Amino acid sequence: MRPSCIVKVGDYLQFKQLIKLILNNIFQNKGRTFLTTLGVIVGTATIFLVVAIGKGAESQVNEQYAQLNVGTIIVSAAQRGPAADPLTEEDATRFLESSNIDYAFPMLRGGGDINYENFSYQGSYSAIYPEFQTVNHLTVYEGRELVEEDETEHNRYAVLGYELANTLTDGNPAEIVGKNVTISRRKFEVIGVYERIGDSSSPMGYDDAALIPYSAAQRYLMGTRTNPTILAQAKDIDSVQSAIQDIQYILDETHRAGGSDQFRIMDAGSSLAAAQESARTLSLLLLSVAVVVLIVSGIGIMNVMFVTVKERTKEIGLLRAIGAKKNEVLSQFLIEAVLISLMGGIVGVIMGFCAMPLLDYFDLPYKASVNGVLLGVTFSTVTGVFFGFYPAWKASGLDPIEALRHE
């Protein structure tokens, strides 16, 4: 009679029992299990932290550039200091001839002491056209913003960044509206305070700056021999490149002596992309370190599993003799490896959480995320599957007779 007529192969060890047998084994070798998981713990914690640091860097970059419109193009002198052939207000007007550009206006930046009553602040001011406020999404917290009339009338008005107003008034920014401050020893009346932008380390941050009308700055602070920067706004993101080409063309025309090469044309979108790119590169670099750690820990798991298989050779022979199938032996060892690495992964994530104050200490920005947890645990489990498979497969392939004879 053929065996397939009589023997029905369908009875397998219950999964619950399988897990129970494995857990028994794991906990009867606590020391060994701990040493095996150590690598996985470190690897997973690293992955988790790396993802947190990466996310932190990314959100820092995004925050820094949040106030900046991606269509903004900044044209400035390539070299610092007084220029022989500076940009002019006429250049800005010319830029508007390009159909790709919506706004273009010059601005000036300067540093100097800002004084209010007996408070003094080493700050900066920006001389702007009113459109600047629109492009940079500046809104007022108290008072009003600069308007076209302030520009034409050369009004000696200033609107202060929130932090600046806050510092000068010792925590009561609204009170300064209507009062006089001196900027580089020139008197200006504060007509408003802007809403807080957020990140004071932002390169384009105006939280601690005073904004004054361009015409007033020229008349009272800087004179007409200035070296302005021109802020242009492309119609939309897709026209940024054409707008830059138009700007180059116009500058070549108007500044025949040096051409457009003496100016630096930067667009916010590409510098944002560059910053994001470098944040991503950093994450990727750290992540690959973590992956290497996990691979090394996986090799550790593999070694320990080989030792386990060797130690339990006789047991495997016995199990095969009493009717355990190859698959059952395979899954027993494979799941053991996976469980060990999964536990290591979970402990690793917990350790990662515990290590976060350390990042604070080093002033590293970070952001814990579900993605980091999932990535860490997934990676550790995959490590277990990958490196646990070969020893498990070896175990299941053992010849029962030789295994039984093993001492």
Residues in contact with another protein by the rule CB under 8 A: 1-4, 6-9, 11-14, 16-17, 20-21, 24-25, 28, 314-315, 317-328, 400-401, 404
Would you report the helix, strand and coil content of the chain in percent, each value rounded to 5?
Answer: 55, 15, 25
Rounded to a whole number of angstroms, the distance between the first and last alpha carbons of the chain is 38
* Rounded (5°) CA angle 342-344-346: 70
Give 170: exposed, middle or buried? Use CB within 10 Å, 0-12, 13-18, 19+: exposed
- Residue 81 phi/psi, 5° resolution? 90, 180
Q: How near is the Cβ of 328 to another protein at its closest, in Å? A: 7
Q: How near is the Cβ of 336 to another protein at its closest, in Å? A: 14
* Cβ partners under 8 Å of residue 228, min gap 6: 86, 87, 88, 89, 106, 107, 108
Task: At 265, list the tokens.
Answer: 């044309």
Q: How near is the Cβ of 316 to another protein at its closest, in Å? A: 11
Query: Closer to another protein at the Cβ: 311 or 360?
Result: 311
Q: Are strands 157-160 and 186-194 parallel, antiparallel or unpaired?
A: parallel
Query: Closer to another protein at the Cβ: 49 or 335?
Result: 335
Q: How near is the Cβ of 319 to another protein at its closest, in Å? A: 7
Query: Closer to another protein at the Cβ: 21 or 140?
Result: 21
Q: How near is the Cβ of 308 to another protein at its closest, in Å? A: 13
Query: Closer to another protein at the Cβ: 223 or 323?
Result: 323
Query: Closer to another protein at the Cβ: 139 or 327?
Result: 327
Q: How near is the Cβ of 285 to another protein at its closest, in Å? A: 45
Q: How near is the Cβ of 36 to another protein at its closest, in Å? A: 18
Query: Closer to another protein at the Cβ: 137 or 314?
Result: 314
Question: CA-to-CA distance for 132 and 124, rounded, in angstroms?
Answer: 16
Question: CA-to-CA distance for 220 and 25, rounded, in angstroms?
Answer: 84
Helix (H) or strand (E) holding 142: strand 140-143
Q: How near is the Cβ of 38 to another protein at its closest, in Å? A: 23
Query: Closer to another protein at the Cβ: 281 or 327?
Result: 327
Bridge-partner residues for 113, per DSSP? 122
C-alpha radius of gyration, the chain, whole number: 34
Question: CA-to-CA distance for 246 and 240, rounded, in angstroms?
Answer: 10
What does DSSP assign to residue 144?
-
Query: Closer to another protein at the Cβ: 113 or 402?
Result: 402
Query: Closer to another protein at the Cβ: 94 or 312?
Result: 312
Bridge-partner residues for 186, per DSSP? 183
- Amino acid 16 reads K
Give which of 187, 203, 191 is closest to 140, Cα–Cα.
Answer: 191
Q: How near is the Cβ of 59 to another protein at its closest, in Å? A: 51
Q: How near is the Cβ of 407 to another protein at its closest, in Å? A: 9
Query: Closer to another protein at the Cβ: 179 or 314?
Result: 314
With helix as H, strand as E and coil as C, how does 45-61 read? Answer: HHHHHHHHHHHHHHHHH
